């Protein structure tokens, strides 16, 4: 009798453990907010998408550090969110005109090569690499190819998650990356069913899209897909994502989110 009860308790614990995976926290553009220290925009000591912000994400124990990449016309890849930095449009400029641009915190803009190299200092930090949508699709194709090469160069292929708004770039990734590589789509218009058909690992959708389609959490999970929600900055929204079983939350407030995940 005792054995049967013990067996039942163990099985219940195991199945609960399998069903409830903890939500992982991705620092959106790195961790660039540090309370109490005034920076360029009053709350910032390191710029978004800077090496400092990547280091910050590692320091606070985030699961991953997200960043965005753009290609120049001559095929150099740079890390920045906006397409334009200090008046220079990256995708229509040459590398020589971009490499000396400074981020608001005074750090030079990073090439993808430099940015990935820095990830090798943080063995527990997932690389969450967003390929930005380029006007020139050949340039975009080349950007995906080069990004894959650089990820491999630094031995980061096993801990890189690929994300994009561009359907073209996603199809490139699906073609050129090994099967099973986590590739997520950011634009909210494709259903989990369609993403499964295409071969994506899941959806990485804006909070308002997921609020409109809360049924997509279960639909995705039933199909074996994962769900990442961005950019979730309010505590109540983080809790909503956790309650709905989000696999990842991408946030500008990773410290708050990490605390909340721990408390759940």
Q: Which residues form the interface with Mg ion (CB under 5 A)?
A: 68, 130
What region does 206 belong to: left with phi over 0, alpha with psi -120 to 50, or beta? beta
| Cα 184 versus chain centre, distance | 9
Nearer to Mg ion, 208 or 218 (CB): 208
Q: How far apart are CA 150 and CA 262, in angstroms?
A: 34
The least CB distance from residue 14 to Mg ion, in Å, is 37
The least CB distance from residue 7 to Mg ion, in Å, is 47
Contact 63, 129 (CB under 8 A): no
The least CB distance from residue 161 to Mg ion, in Å, is 12
3-state secondary structure of 180: coil
Nearer to Mg ion, 126 or 130 (CB): 130
The least CB distance from residue 211 to Mg ion, in Å, is 20
The least CB distance from residue 105 to Mg ion, in Å, is 18
DSSP H helical ranges for the chain: 2-19, 51-59, 95-98, 112-119, 137-153, 167-176, 192-198, 207-212, 215-222, 235-243, 254-263
What is the chain's Cα-based Rg?
Answer: 19
Residue 212, token pair as written in the block: 């409109």
């Amino acid at each position: 009798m005792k054995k049967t009860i013990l067996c039942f308790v163990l099985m219940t614990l195991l199945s609960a453990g399998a069903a409830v995976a903890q939500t992982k926290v991705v620092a959106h553009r790195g961790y660039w907010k540090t309370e109490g220290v005034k920076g360029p925009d009053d709350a910032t000591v390191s710029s978004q998408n800077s090496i400092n912000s990547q280091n910050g994400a590692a320091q606070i124990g985030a699961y991953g550090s997200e960043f965005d990449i753009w290609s120049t016309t001559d095929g150099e890849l740079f890390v920045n969110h906006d397409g334009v930095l200090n008046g220079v449009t990256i995708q229509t400029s040459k590398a020589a005109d971009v490499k000396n641009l400074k981020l608001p915190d005074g750090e030079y803009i990073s090439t993808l090569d430099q940015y990935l190299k820095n990830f090798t200092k943080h063995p527990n930090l997932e690389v969450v690499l967003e390929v930005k949508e380029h006007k020139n699709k050949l340039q975009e194709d080349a950007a995906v190819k080069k990004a894959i090469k650089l990820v491999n160069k630094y031995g980061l292929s096993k801990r890189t998650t690929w994300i994009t708004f561009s359907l073209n770039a996603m199809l490139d990734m699906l073609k050129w990356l090994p099967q099973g590589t986590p590739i997520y789509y950011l634009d909210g218009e494709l259903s989990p069913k369609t993403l499964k058909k295409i071969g994506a690992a899941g959806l990485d959708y804006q909070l308002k899209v997921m609020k409109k389609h809360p049924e997509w959490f279960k639909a995705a999970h039933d199909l074996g897909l994962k769900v990442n929600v961005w950019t979730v900055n309010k505590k109540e929204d983080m809790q909503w994502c956790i309650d709905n079983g989000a696999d990842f939350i991408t946030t500008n407030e990773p410290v708050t989110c990490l605390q909340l995940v721990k408390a759940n």
